[in-house]
Amino acid sequence: MSLTAVLNTASSGLNAAQTGLRTVSDNIANVNTPGYVRKTVDQQPLVVGGMGMGVQVSGVKRVTDQYLQAASMTANSDAQRYSVLSQYLDNAQSLFGDPSSDNFYFKNLDNISSAFQAAANDPSSSLLRSQAISNVQDFLSETSRINGQITQLGKTVDAQANADISRINDLLGQIDRLNSDISRARLANADSSGSENIQSGLVDQLASLMSVQVQQRPNGGVTLRSPEGYQLAGDGAVKLSYNRTDSTKGYIAIEPADGVGAKTPITITGGELRGLMDLRDDTLPGLSDQLGVFASQVADQINAASNKNTSVPPPTTLTGRNTGQDLPTAVGNFTGKATIAIADASGVVQQTVAIDFDAGTMSANGGPATSFTPGSFLSDLNTALAGQGTASFTDGVMTLQAAGSNGVAIDEGTSQKAGRGFSAFFGLNDLIRSNGITNYNTGLKTSDPNGFTAGDTVSFRLAQADGKPIKDVTVALPAGGSMQDLLDSLNASSTGVGLYGSFSLDSNGKLAFTSNNSLPVTLSVVSDKSTHGTNGPSFSQLFGVGTLERTSRADRLSVDTAIMGDPTKLSLNKLDLTVAAGQPAIRAGDGKGALTLAQFADQPTTFEAAGTLGKVSMTVARYAAEFGGAIGRQAEAADTRMKSAQSVSTEATARRQSVEGVNLDEELVRLTTYQQAFNASARMIQATKELFDVLTGMI
């Protein structure tokens, strides 16, 4: 071997040792730098013509473990998802108050019952009547306040989701630009670890916001993809958008690069963004829906009791609520018996009309029964009232009015339709009024006319459980026909939702959509341009279809303004048709009606599925306990999931850092090794110099 070859070999060792010393010093300097990944020198023998000619440094590489990196990112993604869920659910739970304090929301039921019980003991007391009315209004106001705060939480979540999308788009752009820096450094055989560390930190930030797949590029850098494989960054960064309306679930989509064409929805399975979308689309609407179910059933039970009662003196006019139906449809399907009475100011009955829905007859003052049909009900009732009163029906609202100074009272008897008596179904003597439909038990059967205007359209969005849209379907409502015809149109495979699920009508006339896919399909209303009858509700309003319709129920309830203004109009008395002729059938001081109101929370009823509770039959008081417990359990479960995910994230991060992090002891060993190698190579160069000097001297 020539002296020149020895010198070149020693020089290569010297350069390799210098590179190693520089790498170790960089590691030691960044021992406390967050996100820094230690580096090692990748060196290999230099071979020329089959002969060893020293060493060469093929590159400086970061010490990473792709498995641990992926595990850490996944764990951190889950931790961020459940952290945001826990945070907002804790805020939502606090809206209902402290269960141990007097301001706990569900204690309002006890206050209402106690106030009516007190009024039953002294029905003539205006103060006790006012207190009972005030307690009912307090409950309804608290319901509206809580629902408003839940809605506000949803808007905050929306704002945070949009902010996350902006941050994600920024991160995707930075990660993609760093690919160029890393690739250029790799081509020049330079140290690209600085850019790679920065990129790795950005990828970790991105993974905390949304779930991504990370693939290493052959020439350096990374390619990022969505869980189903759409490329997000690598050869150019995409722009993502957050798409949702008040009536539809949200989804994330890739915007078209040139601004032309359709958006490409992608799946989000983890990260803070997934938690925000779960909150906005499922958890908060579910809580609001459950609050609406609870409040509407409280209102129904109070109104059911109120419609069994009357005031003293009986009111001159009873005006119902909008049933959303025409009169023949509204009167149809009733069973049992009910009695309408006209009484004077002292409570003495002047006229009675007994209605037998089973037999389809009316009887005035106990006289012979005459037949009626749903179509002739109004005219036959006015005939039976014989001038002592009148009945009218306009825009879905029934009104009964007594002649002169007389009043109207109703004995609901055994009448029943969709779980409500005659007066309660029409809302003739409701204590709690609503500015929209809150009970979706329409009482309709498949044989009833559907009542919608022919050609009206309803647009539905069918989506996956996570909100990713599958298809938008616009259904044209059939011309005339029955409810079965309406169901057939909705469930058609080609023009309806039949490929993904079906609508059905239960025994109470409640319409519901059920997915028929193994993977659940959700349905929301994009637009509704339908009208039931003349000036009636839309399809979604009548049947309670869609998130927007259901989550606004809790805001629609308030005490009747006439009763609020005059507590004497509160119905605390009973119509007694068993008294002798000429005796008062409605008596002052009778508190039986107040007792009925006081027991409203103990009446069994059916609650539809909402929130975390399925369809159940129980009393209002029991449901209140279940609802209150469900809120606490939901918040606790979110907190438990958060802590569990954080524990996994902490462990995964610790294991990743044990591989990627700087260990000072190990680095000092490497420092000594490279130092010795440097000294050895330097001594070899010195020895070679001395040999050159000797050789030169000989010449």
**Which pLDDT tens digit goes with each residue over 333-348?**
999 999 999 999 999 9
Cβ burial 469-503 (10 Å sphere, 16+ → b, else e): bbeebebebbeebbbebbbbbbbeeeebbbbbbbb
Determine the average pLDDT of the residues in 584-591: 90
As a whole number of angstroms, the distance between CA 553 and CA 510 comes to: 16
Domain ranges of the chain: 3-62+661-698, 68-88+154-283, 101-151+289-435+554-638, 457-543
Using alpha carbons, select from 111, 259, 181, 162 the residue that is nearest to residue 601. 111
Q: Residue 525 above 70 pLDDT?
A: yes
Say if CB 316 and CB 553 are below 8 A apart.
Answer: no
Determine the average pLDDT of the residues in 167-187. 92
pLDDT attached to residue 524? 94
- What local confidence, expressed as pLDDT, does residue 550 receive? 92
Q: State what percent of residues in the chain have pLDDT above 90.
A: 65
What local confidence, expressed as pLDDT, does residue 505 receive?
A: 95
Cβ atoms within 10 A of the Cβ of 685, count?
Answer: 17
Q: How far apart are CA 382 and CA 378, in angstroms?
A: 6
**H or E element, residue 215:** strand 213-216
Instruction: Give the whole-angstrom CA distance, residue 272 versus residue 171.
Output: 15
Would you state the pLDDT for residue 360? 96
pLDDT band at 156 (very low <50, low <70, confident <90, very high): very high
For residue 247, pLDDT over 90 is answered with no
**Per-residue pLDDT at 67 exceeds 70:** yes
Pairing of strands 251-254, 51-62: unpaired
- Mean pLDDT across 137-161: 95
Closest C-alpha among 308, 338, 312, 196 to residue 567: 312
Among the residue ranges 65-69, 73-77, 258-262, the one predicted with the least confidence is 65-69
The pLDDT value recorded for residue 427 is: 96
Digit-coded pLDDT (tens) for 366-389: 999 999 999 999 999 999 999 999
- DSSP code for 553: G
Mean pLDDT of 121-144: 94
**Residues 409, 413, 417: CA angle, nearest 5 degrees:** 105
Tally the C-alpha atoms within 13 A of residue 325's C-alpha that lie toward its C-beta: 25
* Dist CA 198 CA 207 (whole Å): 14
Secondary structure of the chain: what % helix, strand, coil (to 5)? 45, 20, 35
Mean local confidence (pLDDT), 619-644: 89
435-471 residue pLDDT tens: 999 999 999 999 999 988 888 999 999 999 889 999 9
Tokens of 487: 């169901």
φ, ψ at 416 (rounded to 5°): -160, 135
So what's the pLDDT on residue 1? 52
For the segment 295-313, what is each residue's pLDDT rounded down to a tens digit? 999 999 999 999 999 999 9
CA dist 608 and 13 (Å) reads 79
Q: How many CB atoms lie within 10 A of CB 604?
A: 10
Q: Does the structure show a pLDDT above 70 at 625?
A: yes
Place of tokens 């809302």: 427
Which residues is 45 bridged to in the sheet?
Answer: 55
pLDDT digits (tens, 9 = 90+) for 541-551: 999 999 989 99
Three-class HEC string of 309-352? CECCCCCCEEECCCCCCCHHHHHCCCECEEEEEEECCCCEEEEE
By DSSP bridging, strand 337-343 and strand 231-233 are unpaired
Dump the DSSP string for 657-685: HHHHS--HHHHHHHHHHHHHHHHHHHHHH
Residue 434: per-residue pLDDT: 94
pLDDT (0 to 100) of residue 80: 92
Share of the chain above pLDDT 70, in %: 100
CA distance 532 to 325: 7
Q: pLDDT tens across 83-99, in order?
A: 999 999 999 999 999 88
What pLDDT sits at residue 568?
92
* Radius of gyration over every alpha carbon of the chain, rounded to an integer in angstroms: 38
Total-model pTM: 0.88
